[in-house]
Amino acid sequence: MKVKEAVEYASHLITRHLGSIAEERLQAMTRDPDPSLREKALEILGQIRRSRIPQLRIETLGRFRVCRGDTPIGEAEWDRSQPKHLLMAILASGVRVIPKDLLIEDIWPDAGPAAGDRNLKVALHRLRKSLEPDFRKEFGSSYIHLHDNNVILDQDLCRVDTEEFLSIIKKGEESERGGVSRRPSPSTPRPRNSIRETFCRTSPRLPGWTGGGRN
C-alpha cells in the first residue's frame, strides 16, 4: 500500500471508528510546529465532526420547513428573517451550485458590487449559524459552502423534498416508457414554483427579488 493510500485509510478508520478516542490527540496536533501535520489533524477533526452532523431535511411542498435530523428548526432559531430568505433563494434557483453574483442580483438588485458582497456575506453567516448553531470557522459550514464564488448546498447532508419528488416522477415516467427518457409533459407538476411564491410572499425586507430562478 502506498503512503498516500495508507494515510487516507488511517484517516477513514479514525473518522469512522476511533473518533472519540483520537480527538484529544488530534487537538494537540493542531498546535504542532509542522504545518502539514496541523493541516492533516484539522482535516481529520473536520471529518469526525462531519460524521456526527445530522442530515438537513428541507421541506417546501405545502409549507416551508427545515429539520435538523428529526427536529424542526423553530422560528426563534433563525437569526432574523434574512437567513431563511437566502435559503429560499438558493432553493428557488433550481440548482445546488449557484454563482454568488446571481444570488446578489436576485436578492439585492439595487446594491452596488461592494454592498452586494457585504449583504451576502452577512446573510450567509447568519444562515450557516441558524442551520448549525455550533458552527466553527476552522471547519467551515457543513451544509452551505462557498467555493470559487459559488454558493453550494451540500449534496450529502442536505435533502430537498422537491428534488426527491421530481426524481420519483422521472423514474416513473422512464419506467412507463420502457426506460426511454423524454422531456416532461406540460402536466408534470412544478413544485419548485411553490418555493418562489413563498419566497416572494415572505420577503418584504429583500425588495426586488423576482423569483425567476436559474435553470
Q: What is the pLDDT of residues 140-191, one digit of tens each?
A: 889 999 999 999 999 999 999 988 888 888 888 888 887 555 554 444 444 4
In the structure grid, which three cell numbers stand for residue 82, read together? 434574512
192, 162 contact by CB (below 8 A) = yes
**Domains in the chain: ranges and CATH:** 3-52 (no CATH), 56-159+194-202 (1.10.10.10)
Half-sphere exposure of 1 (CA within 13 A, CB side): 8
- The residue-averaged pLDDT of 97-114 equals 92
93, 192 contact by CB (below 8 A) = no
Q: What is the pLDDT of residues 58-78, one digit of tens each?
A: 999 888 999 999 999 999 999
Which neighbouring-strand residues pair with 152?
Answer: 97, 145
- Other Cβ atoms less than 10 A from the Cβ of 22: the count is 18
- What pLDDT band is residue 20 in, cutting at 50, 70 and 90? low
Give this prediction's pTM. Answer: 0.67
